[in-house]
Amino acid sequence: MKVAAGELSTEERQNLDKFTKSLFLKSAQIIVQSRLGEKIHTKCNPQHASTDLFNLAIKDLPEVQSETKKALSVCGEVMSCSQLPFCVEISLRTVEGDTMTLETWCLGVLADQKDSTLRVTYTIYNRMGTLLKSLVSITRITPAYKLSRRQGPDSYVICYRMYLGEPQLHSLGEGYNQVKVGQLSTPIGTLQVSVSYRTKMTISPQPSSKDNSIMLKSDHFRPDNGPKNVRSQIDDLTSSLSETIKVGAFADSRKTSLAPSDANLVFPDVPFSSLLTSRYPTQQSPSSPTGDILSSILNQNSPVNRTSNTSSTPPASSVERKEDSDNGNITTTRCTSSSINEDFILVDLKTPFAGSNANSDLGLFYKECQTAPPLHGCCEEPTVAEQVGDLASQLKVFESNLQEYDNMLSSLCDSENGNE
């Protein structure tokens, strides 16, 4: 087949579209399969097989195939030469639910760099084969490869995500590297494959639960860092309450500071929040470094044998922290109204020891008691009013004993330090 200078014939154009589409599909297979955590071995076949495109033995995993097609589909049609680049994002998810994007592979067509002198059918097909071989080689040398080989259900899994659009490189952290895998000139533009990968691996994939337990205990009694009651029902998020929200003992201060201002965005307004809760409860290590943990995408990723194409980013303030009394971890869960009260009481019972803020905490504690479901014994209206009065008097008693509590707190702190 010969190419006249300038325009492509319909057949040539169709061939080129077909090749490009195949290249995208095979590239996705190569990338995802290289992150499965196992060594790949495909056999040479001296006989031509129509399924082995580009004369390279690349297995087709059906799930990856369908996900790639879905990601490439625009209005129900699989696009091959879209103006938008096709990206495959690889990320790591720990058993605690921490997620970190490791790398983003990007395949794009630069429409302004064309080479109309090339023979479409043979030369381009061969060069695409070379490009895929380079991709196979380079997938083994980025840092994510070594991590993927060490993945396991007890530590972390590698996830992938495919999308059509500009690569989202901000999630790779500072100082990420960009490497060109290869490029290929065609009459419709230059096909380019590149990878951007994270260089700063500041997440700790396997934090020790024992250490967490100790930290939780010692932090808990610090007056300025003690756990505060962050209410999760929007009805309870009154202005006076939001003013009292302080930086939690294990919370990222940056995230938590957003809580009051974002309070109205929080619970019922988060789309599909109940779905997120039930499927992907996430845990956050108290000792995890801030900044690199991308909790925002954890619900959109899936282990390497699964995928999803869409992305939504729940605001950080929509996360409620609760204390897991079994293992001492701080667990962040998507808020649902069903589990709130129990969690709240667990945390709040300890706030009387919280030093200088004891007044407001105690007040909030009683406010919470007011809004709690009434007991059978005090369901009549007058009884409630009486009880409020009774509670107020009790509050006064407690406040008068404030010094005693402070003394107890300091003695506890002393004994803690002594033990260490």
Partner 1 sequence: MTNGKFLYCLRDIYHFPCLSSVRFFFHVFVVPNTAETVEGHQVDEAVASIFHTVLFHRSLGKFCYKQEGHYSIGTVGYEDVDCDFIDFTYVCCSSYYLDRTLKREISGFSEALRGNDGPGSGQISLEFFQKKKTRWPFQPECIPWEVWNVRLELIKLNNEHERQLCREKVGDLLTEKILYVAEIMNRHEYVPTMPSQSDLDLIFDTTYPDIQPYLFKLSFTTSEPSNTSVGTTMRKLIKETLSI
Cβ 27 to partner 1, closest distance in Å? 14
Among 5, 6, 10, 48, binds partner 1 (CB under 8 A): 48
Cβ 34 to partner 1, closest distance in Å? 8
DSSP result, 127-189:
HHHHHHHHHHHHHTTSHHHHHHHT-BTTTEEEEEEEEESS--GGGG-TT-EEEEEEEEEETTE
46 binds partner 1 (CB under 8 A): yes
1 binds partner 1 (CB under 8 A): no
Helix (H, G, I), strand (E, B) or coil at 237: coil
**Nearer Cβ to partner 1 (132/172):** 132
Map the footprint of partner 1 across residues 51-70, applying CB under 8 A: 52, 55-57
**Nearer Cβ to partner 1 (129/363):** 129
Q: Which amino acid is at 252?
A: D
373 binds partner 1 (CB under 8 A): no
Alpha-carbon distance of 33 to 139, in angstroms, equals 10
Backbone angles phi, psi at 131, to 5 degrees: -60, -40
Cβ 137 to partner 1, closest distance in Å? 5
DSSP result, 94-112:
ETT--EEEEEEEEEEEETT
141 binds partner 1 (CB under 8 A): yes
181 binds partner 1 (CB under 8 A): yes
Q: Which amino acid is at 117?
A: T
175 binds partner 1 (CB under 8 A): no
Cβ 177 to partner 1, closest distance in Å? 10
Of 252, 326, 243, nearest to 291 by C-alpha is: 252
Among 26, 35, 93, 127, binds partner 1 (CB under 8 A): 127
Window contacting partner 1 (CB under 8 A); options: 4-12, 133-141, 242-250, 387-395 = 133-141
145 binds partner 1 (CB under 8 A): yes
Which residues contact residue 358 at a Cβ distance below 8 angstroms, ignoring those fewer than 6 apart? 351, 352, 399, 402, 405
Of 154, 159, 147, 162, nearest to 199 by C-alpha is: 147
**Nearer Cβ to partner 1 (90/409):** 90
**Nearer Cβ to partner 1 (72/132):** 132
What is the DSSP code (8-state) at residue 349?
Answer: T
Q: For residue 398, what is the enclosing H or E element? A: helix 381-400
216 binds partner 1 (CB under 8 A): no
Give the relative orientation of helices 402-419 and 381-400 as an angle to the nearest 10 degrees: 60
Cβ 315 to partner 1, closest distance in Å? 39
Cβ 2 to partner 1, closest distance in Å? 16
Alpha-carbon distance of 81 to 51, in angstroms, equals 22
Read off the tokens for 57. Answer: 């033995």
Q: E strands along 272-338, which residues?
A: 282-283, 319-323, 330-334
Among 87, 184, 259, 297, binds partner 1 (CB under 8 A): 184
42 binds partner 1 (CB under 8 A): yes
Cβ 114 to partner 1, closest distance in Å? 15
**Nearer Cβ to partner 1 (50/325):** 50
Chain residues that interact with partner 1, rule: CB under 8 A: 39-49, 52, 55-57, 127, 130-131, 133-134, 136-138, 140-141, 145-146, 149, 179-184
